[in-house]
Amino acid sequence: MYRIAVMGDMDSIYGFAALGLDLFPMEDPADAGKKLRELAENDYAVIYLTEGLAEKIEAEIDRYKESDLPAIILIPGVSGNTGRGIMAVKKSVERAVGTDIIFNNQATRR
């Protein structure tokens, strides 16, 4: 059975424990890269990463961009939203459907 993990600084991820998700507090990029590989190889279908941590291990995340599993989803941390998570979703949607259906007509809706 697949599981869901959350990685990042403890202040940003501790609330996910209430949802029953597996928490992996990480701050060191080397340790985080190793942990991401370990989780990806051991039945984790979804891995949430704080944007701040993802920025530090971008090369490791890129290894899984073309893979079906795990889905690596960026989330904002307690330090705020950098916009990287929403841009990653935008790119995934564009790749899946061939066009930007999320932000395409944003200017005309105002």
pLDDT for 77 beyond 90: no
Residue 94 lies in a domain: no
Range of the domain at 55: 3-79
CA distance 86 to 102: 10
What does the pLDDT read at residue 108?
44
Residue 74 inside a domain? The answer is: yes
Residue 26 resides in a domain:
yes
Q: Is residue 14 part of a domain?
A: yes
Contacts of 81 (CB under 8 A, 6+ apart): 51
Residues 37-61: pLDDT tens digits?
A: 999 999 999 999 999 999 999 999 9
What CA–CA distance (Å, rounded) separates 2 from 55?
26
97 occurs within a structural domain: no
Q: Is residue 53 part of a domain?
A: yes
**CA 11, CA 15: separation in Å to the nearest integer?**
8
CATH code for the domain of 42: 3.40.50.10580
Question: What pLDDT score was predicted for residue 97?
Answer: 74
Give the tens place of pLDDT for each residue, 56-76: 999 999 999 888 899 999 999
Give me the pLDDT at residue 36, please.
97
pLDDT value at 107 more than 60: no
Closest by Cα among 92, 91, 32 to 68: 92
In a domain, 90, yes or no: no
Domain membership of residue 85 (yes or no) is: no
Please give the tally of structural domains in the chain: 1
**Residue 16 pLDDT more than 70?**
yes
Q: What are phi and psi of 50, to 5 degrees?
A: -65, 150
